[in-house]
Structure 1
């Protein structure tokens, strides 16, 4: 079968960068010495630096608070805050890489990290972190995710926070049915079946079939199969027989233990459906906690990390990681690094993530009182930072990842749910596209 992989993001970047770059800076695993502009200077460590917030408006208040704290402790450094809406952050960075005007330091999530890094715009941070007070105090799993998303062996982002997959379940329904908490996949499937009563419009689970369905499906597959790497050499493991069997078991829940409407439900509809009905379980993330609290009250639900295998081993796919990067064109990298070091310190990282409702990258911050009071966040942080948790790194670095995982295969997953496509064909198609994208990336890199 001929695979036509659309490259909308790559085309957009090519237009933004123009023919000047001509892909000369697109070396795979770029060591950070790429040629996309001014290489900057270490600077005096004093004066003014510019910070771009890549979630401007949403995070403006907390960043201004952190900046005020920083300037109080470092009176010889002033930070100019620039808030950029999340939807336009990528294009803003691309335009500045071509035309100049990049900040000294900025927010760069893993979804855009490789694309910015491959243009040679980011400063490698390994040696700075190694000499920093942050050394040994950041989640190793998040550091690994940051490094993997950068498509090389250099660390181009210091993680600030992450979300985590969460299995929300109705404690009242579980108690009434005499069920144990769905901590393992065996208990999960038993609960999904027992809580379903179609005659009374009650279902054990709600499955995501609409927009954003691929990541939860892959999480369910890898979590059950126990496969811990997305690649085996240059071939993806998504269509490994163990993943095929795991996903077959998962999608068999559709219409048997889930509502039929799930085939079209994105997370908003899925969350609303769970909050308003009598569905036993929902797989989402920490971001819907306040919705559940408002709709159900604290006594009717609980959030756990995704189920483990029966032996207690936990495998999960990587979640997007928020972070901060130093731009190579900065004339004051010393001050820019000081800002990152301060922003990700225990107190400030805790303050930021309490406001954002996310898991701190700083492991000391992850032990703070506000997290201990929120059991879902506490358990998610423990799982994310646990040495026994294995993270399957999704290939955010591939220019075609977003297209493959969304527009190419979300419709195919709906076909799977509707019985019009087999799980094996679905995963084989996905694997063929991913292998082609990986080969293309290496060839052009």
Structure 2
């Protein structure tokens, strides 16, 4: 999968990283942390050809300004754990990793692969106040700055505004509104919603978490006690079970089939990431909307769609947004001085160019500078998205949608990290216990209560091994 889609993290790769790196990180031959070499190695998960080319253009500017050369190595996100394990064994870790998800930041930290001093230096140099506070917190462990927050995407609920208006339905911002709309809009030839049920894809867990957070359903508490059988979580299992059994297409639903059903006009709602927005707007030829009305107007579906970025449940205190924050990480034994200069450049002089590669999935976590506090936020609003065609998102989507997207970084929440249990995320995403229970729920082979218990037991086993 490319980085323009929701992130997948393969179980085998993650398990290999856990098993191998923890045994080798301390024995890998460290490089001089303050070395003066003029070449650094950077691994980037932005590995699509057009993004690699753009990254190289940014790097050329950095080299011209500093004299420091950069060996850019594009890596597939599913291969990063294996590559990192091998590099740790040979003492050949890169100096910097870019566009890595929160789960890898936490896993690398537990294996002592991060130069947290370098990350702290970078944040201080750029100005702590220029970052979104909640984003900094996601990359922190106590007073340690594990990595440097870069950009984010959110899991959003996209819905057919025209169908909602015709049926007199309110926007699907709550559990009750989602359930009612899905029931009402499920009819011959149309499903009320399409939700992921693929047990082998982290996207399924992300979809569940995006609904769970709005009901204050937490994976784990501060003491490590798993909470998937709590009353708040049971409400999420009940909702997901009802929607997948009654209102969603049958069979295993994947990251691709959920999008396809909505694009074909066969579903009135879809839970997906913000990376859907350029495709929904008809800007990507290999993922165009295919609804009957879309044949003559590629923007028709986008113009008749609304976006919900935060959902609340009956037990939730506030609406919540699930999002992924990607980061820059300086690795153990890196050329600290050169690496710090590089990341600072990517988060300042090169930042707008970097965000512009895919603005629909790169909402800035550094909003501006000390003298121009909203510089990058305003620049992002004017960036053009798309692959085969380029257009500004605000030329496709209405003001309310753009305001909702702009607010995403301030409202991102995640399981485990606020409770100080971030180390759980690596093995959790490797073994996919919630995704497997959701798959059983969607197939009708289990009940919401039994699905909750199965997931609870599986996560409890994982948690016990991470203590």
What TM-score, normalized by structure 1, do the two folds share? 0.81
User: Closer, same or farther in 2 for the Cα pair 1:179/1:243, shift >3 Å?
Assistant: same
Confirm or deny that 1:161 pairs with 2:151.
yes
Partner of 1:266: 254
Provide the rounded CA distance (Å) in 2 between the counterparts of 1:87 and 1:158. Answer: 21
State the Cα distance separating 1:181 from its structure 2 match.
2.5
RMSD between aligned residues = 3.0
Partner of 1:410: 435
Q: 1:98 aligns with which of 84, 89, 92?
A: 89
Contact 1:146/1:158, CA 8 A, preserved across alignment: yes
Contact 1:110/1:321, CA 8 A, preserved across alignment: yes
User: Closer, same or farther in 2 for the Cα pair 1:75/1:342, shift >3 Å?
Assistant: closer
Provide the rounded CA distance (Å) in 1 between the counterparts of 2:32 and 2:439. Answer: 49
Partner of 2:342: 339
State the Cα distance separating 1:314 from its structure 2 match.
1.7
Partner of 2:448: 423
Partner of 2:355: 353
Worse-superposed segment, 127-136 or 264-273: 127-136
Partner of 2:457: 432
The Cα offsets for residues 240-271 of structure 1, whole Å up to 9 and x where unpaired, read as 11210232033212343333x2x411010111
Q: Across the two proteins, how many residue pairs are aligned to each other?
A: 408
State the Cα distance separating 1:343 from its structure 2 match.
0.7
Contact 2:219/2:228, CA 8 A, preserved across alignment: no
Partner of 1:288: 276
The SS at the match of 2:320 is strand
The SS at the match of 1:400 is helix
User: Closer, same or farther in 2 for the Cα pair 1:180/1:325, shift >3 Å?
Assistant: same
Contact 2:16/2:81, CA 8 A, preserved across alignment: no
The Cα offsets for residues 63-96 of structure 1, whole Å up to 9 and x where unpaired, read as 1122123234x23323232223333232222212
Contact 2:40/2:69, CA 8 A, preserved across alignment: yes
Provide the rounded CA distance (Å) in 2 between the counterparts of 1:320 and 1:400. Answer: 17
Confirm or deny that 1:383 pairs with 2:408.
yes
The Cα offsets for residues 387-411 of structure 1, whole Å up to 9 and x where unpaired, read as xx65434666335212432xx4534
The SS at the match of 1:321 is strand
Equivalences for residues 133-152 of structure 1 within 5 A = 133-147=126-140
Partner of 2:423: 397
Contact 1:134/1:341, CA 8 A, preserved across alignment: no
Q: 1:61 aligns with which of 47, 50, 53?
A: 53
User: Closer, same or farther in 2 for the Cα pair 1:206/1:22, shift >3 Å?
Assistant: closer
Provide the rounded CA distance (Å) in 1 between the counterparts of 2:342 and 2:145. Answer: 17
User: Closer, same or farther in 2 for the Cα pair 1:163/1:303, shift >3 Å?
Assistant: same
Provide the rounded CA distance (Å) in 1 between the counterparts of 2:197 and 2:259. Answer: 13
User: Closer, same or farther in 2 for the Cα pair 1:15/1:187, shift >3 Å?
Assistant: closer
Contact 1:404/1:434, CA 8 A, preserved across alignment: no
